[in-house]
Amino acid sequence: MFDRKYNRGLDANDTPHRLVLSHLWELPFGIGKDRLNKGVAARVLGNWQFSGITVVQAGRPILISAPDRTFLYEFAYTNGRADRLKSGVIDNPSETKWFDTTTFRTARDFTVPTDSLSQPDLRTPWRQAVNWSVIKNNPIIWGDRDISIQFRTEMCNVFNAPQFDVRGAATDVTNPLFGQIIEGGGERNIQFGLRIVF
């Protein structure tokens, strides 16, 4: 097998559309600021920061796998691929049927599979994650030193948006779960921290 085009395809991590937004907002009052910079109110209400990163991106190419039926010794070029008969795109994909499973089949014995390494028109679901951090800075003057005690609250995936994926058993032609979304992750994560800067 010396056809170089046979192994051409999209990279497994190809992401054609990706939007990343970052923001930082710091209250204009508190210790060391122009407004409300003295007293208890400055200590309680001032020196707060709110920041975050929002990521929205298209899914990655799906990699369909099937048993190697070439019976050739160490025929790595097949990479466990299947035969692709047509496009697997469907109009209304759902978690129980993300693509047309009749598009793919195990290659016949002693034949080279016709599918590519990655699907040119099938992708995993879009992903989105909103990450926020809330920071309270507490400036303290200790002799001739400026010390800041910082309390941090960091929240990853604030809205607990599921991060679905199509891989593993869902991409194996011989598996009963073929074509279904059975994996996910990216659950909300909240952590607190204390940082002393001197």
DSSP for residue 39: H
Domain carrying residue 188: 4-197
Residue scoring higher pLDDT (71 or 84): 84
Dist. CA 180–CA 94, nearest whole Å: 8
Specify the pLDDT at position 47. 87
- Mind listing the pLDDT tens digit for each residue in 150-182? 999 999 999 999 899 998 899 999 999 999 999
Q: What pLDDT is attached to residue 79? A: 64
> With 80 as the cut, is the pLDDT of residue 66 above it?
yes
User: 14 near 89, Cβ under 8 Å?
Assistant: no
How many structural domains compose the chain?
A: 1
Distance CA 165, CA 60 (A): 9
50-63 pLDDT per residue, tens: 999 999 999 999 99
pLDDT at 142 over 70: yes
**Residue burial 27-41, b: 16+ Cβ < 10 Å; e: rest:** eebbbeeeeeeeeee
